[in-house]
Every structure is written in C-alpha cells, then in structure tokens.
A and B are shown apart, each in its own frame.
Chain A
C-alpha cells in the first residue's frame, strides 16, 4: 500500500509535468514548474519521515534515535531556495519575451531559436 504522502507528492509532480508539456502559455508553464517543484520537495521530505518521531532538533528528551532523518530536510531547504531563484529568473525572462514579441504563446515565439 503506497503511502498517501508519496501518492500526493507524485501526483503534484505529474500535474506540474502535464502543465509544462501541454499548456501553451509561458506563465502557465511556469506555474506548472512551480507545482512540480513543490511536489519534488514534498516527496523528499516524506522520504525522510520515520513514523512516530519528532523534528530533528536535539533538545530535552529527544535524542538522535527520536528524530526523523535530517538530511532530506537540509536538501529541501536548498532546493526551495534554488526553486525560488529559478522561478524569479524565469519570470523576468517571461517579462522580456512579452516585451519583445508581444505574446506569451510558446508556439508563436519560435523565432527565439538560436
């Protein structure tokens, strides 16, 4: 029986992928990318979850054996920052595209081809 966390995370990734592959508007594709990214982060965090344990902060009553896996959390922190940076950059590119070509439809902006 697949865990509901995994199912939800993978479903988010697939929804994001669907948007990237099928939607024609650049902004919608970027939203798809963001959703995909969220899904990936969720998946990573859920991979590190160990049932019944608490946050990996060593404090009163919680030893190394009482905490969930801290590595995916560190990884996800990094991934979130990267995700925000790429999204910001992609959005600025989208603004430039709209200024230059007057459209956000990917089929119409083939002139971008190098």
Chain B
C-alpha cells in the first residue's frame, strides 16, 4: 500500500480498533502504535520528499488525492512528531476509549489536511479534524465545545463557498490546476487583458479564506473559542490541539498564498513592502499577539494562561506569513515548528501537573520543583524556549521573524512583535515562580513525578527544543529546500541572513561560561538563608486578603485595573450579544409574524401570490 495512505489512515484505524477493543493496556498500545506509524513513515520519506509522491483514491464522484512535497513534508513532520508525543501523553491521562478514538481521528484529519493535493480532499480532512476535536472538547465541557463548533462551522462554510467559487471559475479542485489558472489570470490582469476573477470576487474570496483559516489559527477577533476549547479538554490532547491543529490554519494561509497569492497581489497592490492583502493578515496577527499576550497575563488558571499564550504565539506566525517575503515566510514556518514543539511541551507539562495534583489554579500551587524535578526540568526548557532565550529553538525562530519584519521597514508590526515578546516574559515569570518555587501547600507534599509515558513524551519534545535550538541550521536547510534557494544562509549552527548573523554555538559557549562563573562565585561566597515568604512581599506591613497580590493570587491586578477600559471591549461578549440579538429577533418574529392567527397566515399567502403575480410568474 502507498506510504501516504498509510500515514493518513493508520491513526484512524488504530483509533477505531482501540475504541472497539476497549481493553485497558491494549488500547493504549494500539493507539501509540497508530501514532508512531505516521512518524516512522514521515522520517522514512525524508529523502524522497524532494522527488514528490502522490496517491489517489477514486470515489466515483471525485478523487481523494494526496501528494508529498517539501512544503507539506515539513508540516507532516511537525504533526507526526507532536501528535505522537501527545498520544503518548494520552496513555497516562486518557479516561476512556472514546478519547482514543477521537484523538487519533483528529490526527488523521490534520495529516490529511497537510497531505491533500486538491481542495476537496483538503476540505474533507479539515472537517474530520474539526469534528474529532469538537468531540474531544464535548467530552469535557458542552458550553466550550458549542462555542468551538459554531465558529468552526462558520469557517467551514466560508471555505466551502470559496472552494465552490474557485471550482465554478477554474473547473478543477486540483491545487496545481488552480494555481496555474490563477497565475495566468494574474498575468492577464497585469498586461491589461480580460481577467477571470473580478476585483470584487477576489475580495470576497480573500475574505472567505481569511475567516476559514483565521478561525482555526485563532486569528483575532475569531480567537474566542480557543481559550475555552484548549483548557476544557484532556491536556495531553491539547498538546496536539494547540501545537498541530492550529498549524492547519497556518498551512491554509500558506496555501492561499500559493494558490491565489499572485493574483491578489496584482489586484490590490502593496502597502510599503508587504502586499496589501498580506498586510491585513499580518496586522490582525499583530493584534492577536497583543490581545492573547495581555489576556494570558491576567489568567488565574494555568490551562487558560497557556491557551491565551498559544493564541498569542500563533499571531507571530501570521505576521510572518502576512509580510510575504521569502524570508518572512521561512520565519513563519520556523516559528510554526518551534511553536508546535514548545507549546506541545507546555501542555504536556500542564497535563502532568493536572494528572498528579488535580489542581489548575495558581492559588493552589507552589514549590513543585522539589517534588517533580523531571517535569520541572522539562518546564524549564519550555519556558526558555517560549520566552525566546538562546540557545533554544524559540529564540532562533523569533530572531529570524524579527529580522524579517524589521528588514522590511514595517514599524507597527515590529512594535507589535516586540511587545508580544515582552508580555511573554510577564506571563511566563508567573508560571515559573508560582508553580515551581516558593512555599508548597501541605496537600501537595506527596506529589509524585511524571508517569513514564508522559515523561517520555515530554523528553522527546524537549530534546527537539534543545537540539533544533543549538543547530537551527537543520531547520533552515529544510526551509531552503522548500523555496529552492538559500534564503537563510549559514551552516549547522549559524543562521546568516545577509544583514545579520546568529551563532547558536557561540552563544551556547558564552552561556555555559557565564553559568560556570556564576557557579564559582556561588560556591565561593554565597550563603543560602531561609526567608519567610511574608518578609519578601509585604515590607513588614500587614496586607488584607482582598488586595493580597502574591505571585499566586491576582499578581497582575494593577495591570488589569490599568487595562480595565480596554478589557470592557470583549469580542467574546460581542458574539454573545449578537447571539442574544438573534434570539430577540426570533422572539419578535414569533410574537408579531408567526402569531397563531389563521387569518394573518391567509393574508401572507395572498400577499405572496400578489407579489408573484406582479413578477409575472
């Protein structure tokens, strides 16, 4: 059987098997094997990605076609790696076989999305992915799942309309055919000829795709489902949900560039150095960074904090895609990889904490570093990676992204991404201190370290965080292959953009030297003394409980108060208001139009007959 079909369908098969057998131990084994197969095949296809592979199933009405290229190999690699780790984590945290079925089904969905080579296949697997993740959220929280479902459905319809629209004009679903047709159209427009797509149609197409992919990627203001859906499901699964499924939206935007990007750029021109339509994506991405980051800082729940932080980080990727140069595209894909790695790791850590303590709020945490040293080490890697501290992969990707934005002279976007990094420190310092250090509540005294599957899963992701951080050239080489040219130069340890250089190995050396010096000073001179917590926070003054701003409780309350005017503008509330209006409108219609009076209905009938008669039907 074809490798691509195996990659896509094995997880689904394993999920169904695990669900049917439902024997503890056996279902875990089947599930993990089902997730390992795509990873193994993705690794095996590494060499052959360049020559391209394809696979088609004829369903009579249309074909389901898959193809492998450098671009989608990269994304399949991310999905297979992080998906495998998440499934491994699920072995410790899954409650029943239901979760195995839908977790593996969503892996199939996302792999199918990345491998699809026509719009119809893309859409079908997109829906499989959405459905399975919806079922995962439904298992834990109905309210959150409904919100996710509603926005996803809006996105799905937008995509379906756009696909139908393209099909009507071009006559094919195939990516190659669509791309060729629209590029030709772009040239026709450039030379002043007759174009197939008018300006208004293109704008509609762009809007539809923006909604479709924006929902999945968590683009502001369509992000409102994400904090609830990410936090209200199995946290091991969230590692895949936030790490991989959000990348489907990112991949969608890249696909949009490939398919209709040239035509859009020709039609709407450029703003500064970015194409105008791309600038819209980038600007919304920038807003996503800021909104997600600020809200992450204000959360009291670990799961919610990382959910918002995930939204914020995907914003970076969208900025990179929006700027639209080869370098910024590479930066976006690089960050997509590192986001999947560190966010997957973070959610596995949250899963471990939740699994071992059963608690999720900062107020109940503290001093866990002593009790869970391994998880703490993993958390340390993840924190450094997300905050962008060299030599981890988060730094390399953010650095390339910053350089890409700055080099295009886009000051507003630059400000937004820098602000995002600053706010990243703000919320991470809270996670670092409140969970791992400080006084430990007595009920956490017998907390054990991570169970084996979760520990292995975390170790895999942490390993890649470190290795790809020290040798960012590995990623850069893959990205250069996608573009067919050396956009990012340098070797294994050095990234060279032409106007800037980053040497990961040198920085690592300096860092180790610095730590060695600090260690020497510490062992020579410093003395440890115990300080009661109350001494450090309160300057000797008694503090009342209602304004008790410790790191575990309301730490950023002053920030919240400063922002209170802005926080009143909530898109979550806006959507709820719109929902209420629709309900009110329905009520009005019910009272005045559908009023239960037979005679009114007779009048409606007569009026409609009259209107039809006047139309000449």
1/0 contact string of B577-616 vs chain A (CB within 8 Å): 0000000000000000011111100110010000000000
Residues of A within 8 A of B606 (CB): 17, 21
In whole Å, how far is A38's beta carbon from the nearest beta carbon of chain B?
A: 18
Cβ-closest chain B residue relative to A107: B597
Cβ-closest chain A residue relative to B598: A106
Query: Which of B594, B595, B598, B603 is within 8 Å of A29, CB to CB?
Result: B598
Residues of A within 8 A of B598 (CB): 29, 106
19 other A-B residue contacts (CB within 8 Å) besides A21-B599, A110-B597: A17-B606, A20-B599, A21-B603, A21-B606, A22-B599, A24-B599, A29-B598, A29-B599, A106-B597, A106-B598, A106-B599, A109-B596, A110-B595, A110-B596, A111-B596, A112-B596, A113-B594, A113-B595, A113-B596
Cβ-closest chain B residue relative to A110: B596
Residues of A within 8 A of B597 (CB): 106-107, 110
Q: Measured between alpha carbons, how far is A112 from B596 in the docked complex, in Å?
A: 7
Please report B residues at the A interface, Cβ cutoff 8 Å. Answer: 594-599, 602-603, 606
Q: Measured between alpha carbons, how far is A100 from B598 in the docked complex, in Å?
A: 17
Residues of A within 8 A of B603 (CB): 21
Residues of B within 8 A of A110 (CB): 595-597
Q: How large is the interface on A (under 10, 10 to 19, 20 to 34, 35 or more residues)?
A: 10 to 19
Q: In the bound complex, do residue A21 and residue B594 qualify as a contact, i.e. CB atoms below 8 Å apart?
A: no
Q: List 23 A-B contacts (CB under 8 A).
A: A17-B606, A20-B599, A20-B602, A21-B599, A21-B602, A21-B603, A21-B606, A22-B599, A24-B599, A29-B598, A106-B597, A106-B598, A106-B599, A107-B597, A109-B596, A110-B595, A110-B596, A110-B597, A111-B596, A112-B596, A113-B594, A113-B595, A113-B596
Q: Measured between alpha carbons, how far is A110 from B598 in the docked complex, in Å?
A: 9
The 6 closest A-B pairs by CB, nearest first: A113-B596, A110-B596, A20-B602, A106-B598, A21-B602, A106-B599
In whole Å, how far is A32's beta carbon from the nearest beta carbon of chain B?
A: 10
Q: Measured between alpha carbons, how far is A24 from B594 in the docked complex, in Å?
A: 18
Residues of B within 8 A of A106 (CB): 597-599
Residues of A within 8 A of B594 (CB): 113
Q: Measured between alpha carbons, how far is A21 from B599 in the docked complex, in Å?
A: 6
Cβ-closest chain A residue relative to B595: A110
Q: Measured between alpha carbons, how far is A109 from B595 in the docked complex, in Å?
A: 11
Classify the secondary structure of A's interface with B.
helix
In whole Å, how far is B612's beta carbon from the nearest beta carbon of chain A?
A: 16
Cβ-closest chain B residue relative to A23: B599
1/0 contact string of A12-33 vs chain B (CB within 8 Å): 0000010011101000010000
In whole Å, how far is A33's beta carbon from the nearest beta carbon of chain B?
A: 10
In whole Å, how far is A86's beta carbon from the nearest beta carbon of chain B?
A: 14
Q: Measured between alpha carbons, how far is A111 from B603 in the docked complex, in Å?
A: 19
Q: Measured between alpha carbons, how far is A19 from B602 in the docked complex, in Å?
A: 11
Q: Measured between alpha carbons, how far is A62 from B146 in the docked complex, in Å?
A: 74
**A20, A22, A24 interface centre (most CB from chain B within 10 Å):** A20
1/0 contact string of A90-114 vs chain B (CB within 8 Å): 0000000000000000110111110
In whole Å, how far is B203's beta carbon from the nearest beta carbon of chain A?
A: 43
Within 8 A of B (CB), among A20-78: 20-22, 24, 29
Cβ-closest chain B residue relative to A111: B596
In whole Å, how far is B504's beta carbon from the nearest beta carbon of chain A?
A: 70
Q: Measured between alpha carbons, how far is A24 from B606 in the docked complex, in Å?
A: 17
Q: Measured between alpha carbons, how far is A110 from B365 in the docked complex, in Å?
A: 60
Residues of B within 8 A of A111 (CB): 596
Cβ-closest chain A residue relative to B596: A113
Cβ-closest chain B residue relative to A22: B599
Q: Measured between alpha carbons, how far is A51 from B596 in the docked complex, in Å?
A: 47
In whole Å, how far is B71's beta carbon from the nearest beta carbon of chain A?
A: 55
Q: Measured between alpha carbons, how far is A110 from B596 in the docked complex, in Å?
A: 5
In whole Å, how far is A13's beta carbon from the nearest beta carbon of chain B?
A: 12
Residues of B within 8 A of A109 (CB): 596
In whole Å, how far is B401's beta carbon from the nearest beta carbon of chain A?
A: 58
Cβ-closest chain A residue relative to B590: A113
Residues of B within 8 A of A22 (CB): 599
Residues of B within 8 A of A24 (CB): 599
In whole Å, how far is A22's beta carbon from the nearest beta carbon of chain B?
A: 8
In whole Å, how far is B608's beta carbon from the nearest beta carbon of chain A?
A: 14
Residues of B within 8 A of A112 (CB): 596
In whole Å, how far is B587's beta carbon from the nearest beta carbon of chain A?
A: 13
Q: Measured between alpha carbons, how far is A5 from B148 in the docked complex, in Å?
A: 64
Q: Measured between alpha carbons, how far is A20 from B604 in the docked complex, in Å?
A: 12
In whole Å, how far is B591's beta carbon from the nearest beta carbon of chain A?
A: 10
Q: Measured between alpha carbons, how far is A86 from B603 in the docked complex, in Å?
A: 20
Residues of A within 8 A of B599 (CB): 20-22, 24, 29, 106
Cβ-closest chain B residue relative to A21: B602
Q: Measured between alpha carbons, how far is A110 from B251 in the docked complex, in Å?
A: 55
Residues of B within 8 A of A107 (CB): 597
Q: Measured between alpha carbons, how far is A71 from B303 in the docked complex, in Å?
A: 76
Q: Measured between alpha carbons, how far is A106 from B602 in the docked complex, in Å?
A: 12
In whole Å, how far is B413's beta carbon from the nearest beta carbon of chain A?
A: 55
Q: Measured between alpha carbons, how far is A113 from B603 in the docked complex, in Å?
A: 17
Q: Measured between alpha carbons, how far is A20 from B599 in the docked complex, in Å?
A: 7
Q: Measured between alpha carbons, how far is A20 from B602 in the docked complex, in Å?
A: 7
Q: Measured between alpha carbons, how far is A17 from B599 in the docked complex, in Å?
A: 11
Cβ-closest chain B residue relative to A26: B598
Q: Measured between alpha carbons, how far is A91 from B594 in the docked complex, in Å?
A: 24
In whole Å, how far is B595's beta carbon from the nearest beta carbon of chain A?
A: 7
Q: Measured between alpha carbons, how far is A113 from B594 in the docked complex, in Å?
A: 8
Cβ-closest chain B residue relative to A112: B596
Cβ-closest chain B residue relative to A33: B602
Residues of A within 8 A of B596 (CB): 109-113
Residues of B within 8 A of A21 (CB): 599, 602-603, 606
In whole Å, how far is B307's beta carbon from the nearest beta carbon of chain A?
A: 42
Residues of B within 8 A of A20 (CB): 599, 602
In whole Å, how far is A90's beta carbon from the nearest beta carbon of chain B?
A: 11
In whole Å, how far is B485's beta carbon from the nearest beta carbon of chain A?
A: 67
Q: Measured between alpha carbons, how far is A24 from B597 in the docked complex, in Å?
A: 10
Cβ-closest chain A residue relative to B594: A113
Q: Measured between alpha carbons, how far is A52 from B602 in the docked complex, in Å?
A: 40
Cβ-closest chain B residue relative to A113: B596
In whole Å, how far is B610's beta carbon from the nearest beta carbon of chain A?
A: 11
Q: Measured between alpha carbons, how far is A106 from B143 in the docked complex, in Å?
A: 42
In whole Å, how far is B96's beta carbon from the nearest beta carbon of chain A?
A: 40
Q: Measured between alpha carbons, how far is A21 from B598 in the docked complex, in Å?
A: 9
Q: Measured between alpha carbons, how far is A109 from B600 in the docked complex, in Å?
A: 13
Cβ-closest chain B residue relative to A17: B606
Q: Measured between alpha carbons, how far is A29 from B596 in the docked complex, in Å?
A: 16
Residues of A within 8 A of B602 (CB): 20-21
Q: Measured between alpha carbons, how far is A102 from B602 in the docked complex, in Å?
A: 23
